[in-house]
Amino acid sequence: MLGVNLRPVVGRFWAPVVRALVKLGVTADAVTLTGTIGAVASAVFLIGNGELFWGAFAVTVFVLLDMLDGALARARGGGSVFGAVLDSTGDRAADAAIFGGLVWWFSGAGDNRLLVLLALLCLVLGVLTSYVKARAEGMGLSADVGVVERTERLILVLVGTGFTGLGIPYAVHVALWVLLAGSAVTVGQRVAAVYRGSQGMRLPSAAASDETSGRPAS
């Protein structure tokens, strides 16, 4: 929910940059790719090597490009279907890299199996949060609810990681526990929203046969 409220603020912040990029002919897809590659590289090579503060800082900078690409697409006359898919794919890759970096560090030199477990559970629940919404929208339903969406997820994990890098004890522990609980609630909220919205609906015969046969519907 924070993402909706923050977008106007971030949009005003990025406005001069957007105008400059439009003049230079930079595309929204190029910004998306830059942000994704930068966030993934920062998570892997900084967070994954124990540079928790600078890793969290660098990832935050690149994640902010996620809001810049949308503003740039609108300024250039509107986004494309491919751009929307690319943006969502980049989001998932960045999220996976952040939690993967934490898992890598704390399963090695960081030596904390509890944090490895928490990071893995948060990663799985984050994927489920996004998947339930995407699957629901593919069925013509809405599941745009939840106490912890991507903005909240990133704030929690990056703030906790950054504070731990500054030497604040248990910051990432608290962040991951809060994120775990909030993500579990969010998945439940989205499944409940789909349940309520799907009452009286039936799958088309082809999709229903895929479901009962155990094969994934396309």
Q: What are phi and psi of 77, to 5 degrees?
A: 105, 5
> How buried is residue 159: exposed, middle or buried, by Cβ count under 10 Å (0-12/13-18/19+)?
middle
- Give the Cα separation of 181 and 202 in Å (integer): 32
- Give me the catalytic one of 91, 111, 144, 210: 91
- Give the Cα separation of 76 and 74 in Å (integer): 5
Is 144 known to be catalytic? no
**DSSP SS3 for 203:** coil
- Cα 144 versus chain centre, distance: 14
Q: Which of 126, 130, 94, 113 is nearest to 173 (CA)?
A: 113
* Residues that are catalytic: 91
